[in-house]
Amino acid sequence: MPKQGDINQPTDPVSALVAQLQASSKYGGTAESTLRDVALQALHHYRGKAALKEARRKLHNIVADYLGDPDYEAAAAQIAAVHNDSAALRTVCAQIAEAHTSTRERLRLLDSFYPRLFALTGVPDSILDLACALNPVLIPFMGLPPTTRYEAYDLHRERVGFLNRFFEVVHPAGRAFEGDILVDPPTQQVDVVFIFKEVHRWEQRRSGSSRALLEALQAHWVLVSLPAQNMTGRRDLSDSYRNLFHKVIAGKNWEVIEVHFEDEMVFCVHKT
């Protein structure tokens, strides 16, 4: 029986571990579905403090806050101030994209990145950007019509809040959703899905999770990218990550076209 005053304390071990993670400053802003999934996995092998330690170890890699964040309040205000001036908007969006490693690395490829991908897929009417981080702020460089439905998913609450403020003024046909797409894969029909620079981490989180997601997606094209170099630019990762990707889709009869950029490889999977 819970004691008086303990009425709000979760009694099952998974909920208790989730509550502990939610109370931490580092993981309090992470989607509950992610915390629950990680807690469940940790409790398969550990109990008590060891389970908490294991959950935090997993979350370090999943949330990856070492990749960087802008000041979201300031970024939203900057965008609101310049959104009617396309040149100024591009400058501000590029500055915001600098704050996160994945988009910072993509900035130097921008002249060719989206044009080469859309030359293959056609300019999409609908896009899902999964595990998006700050990639949607590159919309002013994508050459999309304002009508393109752009749905972005991330497990980082503050990032999602900022992206919705960005969409409101820059691309009203877009929307960001907080959630864990490995736990709840989106299944709406779209032209193109972006899954950029995340599959290697998902395979560490749970081997086979990327394949299950690729199978669930209802899209003409799924564009999966992986880094071609490590973060310092000193190690070539292209062979090992190409092998990883081909292991993920082994046995599938999907057509795959690889588009190679200086430090990012994109595997364009044609599902239909």
Ligand X SMILES: C[S@@+](CC[C@H](N)C(=O)[O-])C[C@H]1O[C@@H](n2cnc3c(N)ncnc32)[C@H](O)[C@@H]1O
Residues near ligand X (CB under 6 A) are 62-64, 67, 102-103, 131-133, 135, 153-156, 159, 180-182, 196-198
The whole-angstrom separation of Cα 134 and Cα 162 is: 9
Half-sphere exposure of residue 168: CA atoms within 13 angstroms, side-chain side = 10
Buried residues in 209-240 as b, exposed as e (16+ CB within 10 A) = bbbebbeebebbbbbbbbbbbeeeeeeebbee
Q: Nearer to ligand X by C-beta: 10 or 161? A: 161
Buried residues in 16-39 as b, exposed as e (16+ CB within 10 A) = ebbebbeeeeebebbbbbbbbbbb
Q: How far apart are the first and last CA of the chain?
A: 56
For residue 8, the minimal CB distance to ligand X (Å) is 28
| 121 in Cβ contact with 142 (< 8 Å) | no
- If we measure between CA atoms, which residue out of 188, 130, 187 comes closest to residue 154? 130
Q: Nearer to ligand X by C-beta: 195 or 249? A: 195
Q: Nearer to ligand X by C-beta: 10 or 33? A: 33
For residue 47, the minimal CB distance to ligand X (Å) is 25
Q: Nearer to ligand X by C-beta: 32 or 84? A: 32
For residue 41, the minimal CB distance to ligand X (Å) is 13
For residue 128, the minimal CB distance to ligand X (Å) is 11
Taking CA atoms, 117 is separated from 10, 100, 105, 109, 267, in Å, by 48, 22, 17, 12, 10
- Quote the distance between the C-alpha of residue 49 and its chain's center: 29
For residue 237, the minimal CB distance to ligand X (Å) is 14
Q: Nearer to ligand X by C-beta: 12 or 111? A: 111
For residue 191, the minimal CB distance to ligand X (Å) is 18
Q: Nearer to ligand X by C-beta: 10 or 56? A: 56
